[in-house]
A and B are shown apart, each in its own frame.
Chain A
Amino acid sequence: GAVVSQHPSWVICKSGTSVKIECRSLDFQATTMFWYRQFPKQSLMLMATSNEGSKATYEQGVEKDKFLINHASLTLSTLTVTSAHPEDSSFYICSAEREGRGANQPQHFGDGTRLSIL
């Protein structure tokens, strides 16, 4: 069964709206979660690394004031797309890894959030 839950799965909203996406690890604690973005017919691109209790680490070219990440607990990370515009329309996916398990442990992905900005 799913071990990472992502919500909502699909959202349509008007330009200028802020949208919050939640990523929850269901049966394990995740010190680190990752946020990816995927445009049509392209591969996943890492946006940021979310660290529980500290600031997120953003990849080059990703605006931290545009994509706010909060990782307030060991089972929840949120991504807020602020003042969204049509160019922010994309498929957003989170992943989580079990705390303290190292590289010999797979990441688990959510089912993604399809964001459409009108």
Chain B
Amino acid sequence: DAKTTQPPSMDCAEGRAANLPCNHSTISGNEYVYWYRQIHSQGPQYIIHGLKNNETNEMASLIITEDRKSSTLILPHATLRDTAVYYCILVSSGSARQLTFGSGTQLTVLP
């Protein structure tokens, strides 16, 4: 079972920031928070990941709460091409790093 909880769907206006929440209240100290997205009929695409600190790259920002029990993925200026299912996944630093996908959040960017 996935250890994360995400809303099933969200809408966002084109050009506005999309804020996607994820709850992971049972996260362990050695688990990273990863975000992937899957555009229809394609393989998942890596977006960003973090352990404790907030992270930013060319695609998005990741805000992790101080207690690490939740995080938010921020797409600063959503475009129609950002419409996808977004997955928040915990990845352990242990030897077995297979990903457990939950249901994710279907983000629809509206024109």
Note all chain B residues with C-beta closer than 8 A to A112.
Answer: 41-43
Q: Give Cα A108 to B99, complex, Å.
A: 11
Q: Interface size bucket, A side?
A: 20 to 34
Is chain A's interface secondary structure helix, strand, loop, or mixed overall? strand
Binding site for B on A (CB under 8 A): 4, 6, 32, 34, 36, 43-46, 49, 91, 93, 95, 97, 102-104, 106-112, 114
Residue contact B99 to A111, C-beta cutoff 8 Å: no
In the complex, besides A43-B87, A46-B100, 13 extra interface pairs with C-beta distance below 8 angstroms are: A6-B43, A34-B99, A43-B104, A44-B44, A49-B96, A97-B97, A103-B93, A104-B93, A106-B46, A109-B43, A109-B45, A110-B43, A114-B41
Note all chain A residues with C-beta closer than 8 A to B96.
Answer: 49
Assess whether B68 is interfacial by the CB under 8 Å rule: no
- Tell me the minimal C-beta distance from A115 to chain B in angstroms: 13
Note all chain B residues with C-beta closer than 8 A to A6.
Answer: 43
